[in-house]
């Protein structure tokens, strides 16, 4: 046996010490931890390629890492732990979070040892700590490929792609395996004493997004098949619910790639106006992107427009003129040379408008001129005064809107990730509603609750990937102990 890319067929005899569901950060770390110590492992992945949402990630959280020490970043585990617990209003599981923080630095060492490549240490904004360890060439190249390569070298690990797990099998409160749907559509049972659920988030589940994200208009930023099936499977065998409902939102221009020039122009922190024609936030909140997403979701129809004028638009053609860039998707020092044609495209797609008068702009974006015009006028007075007396936005983001033509780009909320669902302890053992461990069952990564407490924050930038690594390794280590390996 060795790691393969095959899909299971009904002729496969499927038995192993451990089964891992999912091949993102959590699943690969769990499988590698188990496999390197000699446990036989079967990994099931529903999709035709490995990596899940981790393929898209730019970097991961750690504190007191060697990279930070070298860069003289003096943050401590205790400082970040307290910041995180306060920002999550102590709704997160303190014991789990503390262990995650304590191991985060050594997790980077472990990942480097298995071949993961990092390009450097960053903070996502001027307002956040320098804890974001970026992968060389994003998650797919820098993280998933090397990890998967190491897994494939192990004779005792098999990976089955296009083989979704459909049920967990539990007898007398002990896990016995899973049932899967094979590539050919047959049902098949796989047996094991350990199952690690590492199935990621549920941002493709429209109903849950509407319930917990509080809007019908949220779309996943990277659509996939992440509907939370294995979370339900865990509940079906008695697991408790924990932390379900955490949607990490962001403001985007609809249906744009994260690196499109229209996207960059649209979410610059200029003037954001809602469907009532009102300004509704300090626009520089985009730097704390989940907060900006939350603010947008509170607006009518969860929709807004970014308004700017010809001077602002022309300035974007110059290097080093952007006020904001989301994560590592676009180099903030780069210009937008194609912004004119990009706006033309946006106009054809009805997500951008250009017009000579603000009165006409109100009609185009569907707001009342009697609301919209005073909003712009007040904003311009703030710009003249160099002080935002409405929301206190930093003066560097105050640029008047007076030179026609005027532009509007549509903004909607999207979900990077939706997290939580399965209750665990800090050993990542799955717990019932009565806080009893279901023997042999573990959960890791975004499907597990406990890390965040109802709202996303950015002190632990890269935290969801960091948490996936930590919980994947922790689940693997404790499963080895359970297996007596």
Ligand X SMILES: Cc1cc2nc3c(=O)[nH]c(=O)nc-3n(C[C@H](O)[C@H](O)[C@H](O)COP(=O)(O)OP(=O)(O)OC[C@H]3O[C@@H](n4cnc5c(N)ncnc54)[C@H](O)[C@@H]3O)c2cc1C
The residues that touch ligand X, with contacts defined as CB under 6 A, are 21-27, 44-47, 52-54, 56-60, 164-165, 198-200, 221-222, 229-230, 327, 416-417, 445-446, 462-466, 468
Contact call for residues 151 and 3 (beta carbons, < 8 A): yes
Kindly tell me which of 54 and 242 has the beta carbon lying closer to ligand X.
Answer: 54
The residues that bridge with 271 in the sheet, in sequence order, are 307
Contact call for residues 152 and 3 (beta carbons, < 8 A): yes
Kindly tell me which of 46 and 249 has the beta carbon lying closer to ligand X.
Answer: 46
What is the DSSP track for 142-153?
IIIHHHHHHHHT
- Least Å distance, CB 391 to ligand X, is 28
Kindly tell me which of 46 and 284 has the beta carbon lying closer to ligand X.
Answer: 46
- Least Å distance, CB 135 to ligand X, is 8
Kindly tell me which of 7 and 59 has the beta carbon lying closer to ligand X.
Answer: 59
Contact call for residues 245 and 253 (beta carbons, < 8 A): no
Widest pairwise Cα distance in the chain:
75
Kindly tell me which of 316 and 468 has the beta carbon lying closer to ligand X.
Answer: 468
- Least Å distance, CB 1 to ligand X, is 19
Kindly tell me which of 79 and 329 has the beta carbon lying closer to ligand X.
Answer: 329
Distances (CA, A) of 283 to 117, 161, 274, 368: 34, 43, 12, 21
- Least Å distance, CB 201 to ligand X, is 6
Strand order of the β-sheet with 132-135 is 59-61, 132-135, 118-122
- Least Å distance, CB 72 to ligand X, is 23
The residue assigned the tokens 């809007």 is 215
The closest of 173, 193, 96 to 453, measured between CA atoms, is 96
- Least Å distance, CB 404 to ligand X, is 36
Q: Is residue 40 within a helix (H) or strand (E), and if so which, with residue range?
A: none
As separate numbers, helices (DSSP H) first and strands (DSSP E) second, the chain gives 15, 18
Kindly tell me which of 218 and 468 has the beta carbon lying closer to ligand X.
Answer: 468
Number of residue whose CB is nearest ligand X: 24
Q: How many CA atoms lie within 13 A of 437 on its CB side?
A: 15
Q: To 5 degrees, how large is the angle CA 131–CA 135–CA 141?
A: 160
- Least Å distance, CB 417 to ligand X, is 4
């Amino acid at each position: 046996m060795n790691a393969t890319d095959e899909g299971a067929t009904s002729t496969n005899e499927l038995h192993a010490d451990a089964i891992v569901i999912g091949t993102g950060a959590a699943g690969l770390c769990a499988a590698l931890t188990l496999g390197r110590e000699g446990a036989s492992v079967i990994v099931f992945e529903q999709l035709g390629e490995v990596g899940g949402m981790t393929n898209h990630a730019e970097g991961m959280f750690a504190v007191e890492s060697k990279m930070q020490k070298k860069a003289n970043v003096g943050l401590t585990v205790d400082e970040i732990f307290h910041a995180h617990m306060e920002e999550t209003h102590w709704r997160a599981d303190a014991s789990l979070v503390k262990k995650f923080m304590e191991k985060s630095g050594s997790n980077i060492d472990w990942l480097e040892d298995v071949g993961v490549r990092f390009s450097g240490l960053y903070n996502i904004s001027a307002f956040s700590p320098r804890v974001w360890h970026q992968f060389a060439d994003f998650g797919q190249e820098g993280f998933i490929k090397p990890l998967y390569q190491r897994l494939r070298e192990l004779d005792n690990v098999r990976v089955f792609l296009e083989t979704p797990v459909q049920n967990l099998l539990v007898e007398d409160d002990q896990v016995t395996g899973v049932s899967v749907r094979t590539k050919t559509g047959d049902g098949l049972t796989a047996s094991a004493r350990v199952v690690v659920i590492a199935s990621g988030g549920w941002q493709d589940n429209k109903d849950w997004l509407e319930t917990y994200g509080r809007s019908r208009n949220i779309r996943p930023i990277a659509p996939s098949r992440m509907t939370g099936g294995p979370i339900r499977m865990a509940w079906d065998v008695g697991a408790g619910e924990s932390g379900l409902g955490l949607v990490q939102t962001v403001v985007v221009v609809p249906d744009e790639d994260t690196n499109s020039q229209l996207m960059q122009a649209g979410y610059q922190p200029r003037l954001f106006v809602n469907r009532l024609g009102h300004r509704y936030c300090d626009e520089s909140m985009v730097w704390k992107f989940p907060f900006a997403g939350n603010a947008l979701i509170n607006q009518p129809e969860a929709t807004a427009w970014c308004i700017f004028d010809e001077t602002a638009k022309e300035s974007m053609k110059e290097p080093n003129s952007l006020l904001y860039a989301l994560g590592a998707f676009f180099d903030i020092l780069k210009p937008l040379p194609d912004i004119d044609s990009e706006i033309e495209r946006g106009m054809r797609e009805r997500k951008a408008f250009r017009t000579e008068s603000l009165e006409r702009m109100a009609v185009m974006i569907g707001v009342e001129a009697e609301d919209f015009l005073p909003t712009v006028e007040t904003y311009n007075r703030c710009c003249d005064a160099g002080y935002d007396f409405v929301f206190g936005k930093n003066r560097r983001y105050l640029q008047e809107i007076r030179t026609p033509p005027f532009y509007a780009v549509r903004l909607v909320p999207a979900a990077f990730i939706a997290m939580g669902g399965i209750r665990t302890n800090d050993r990542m053992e799955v717990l019932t509603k009565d806080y009893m461990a279901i023997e042999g069952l573990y959960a890791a990564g975004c499907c597990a609750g406990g890390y965040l407490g109802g709202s996303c924050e950015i002190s632990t930038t890269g935290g969801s990937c960091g948490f996936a690594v930590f919980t994947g390794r922790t689940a693997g280590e404790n499963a080895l102990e359970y297996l007596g390996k």
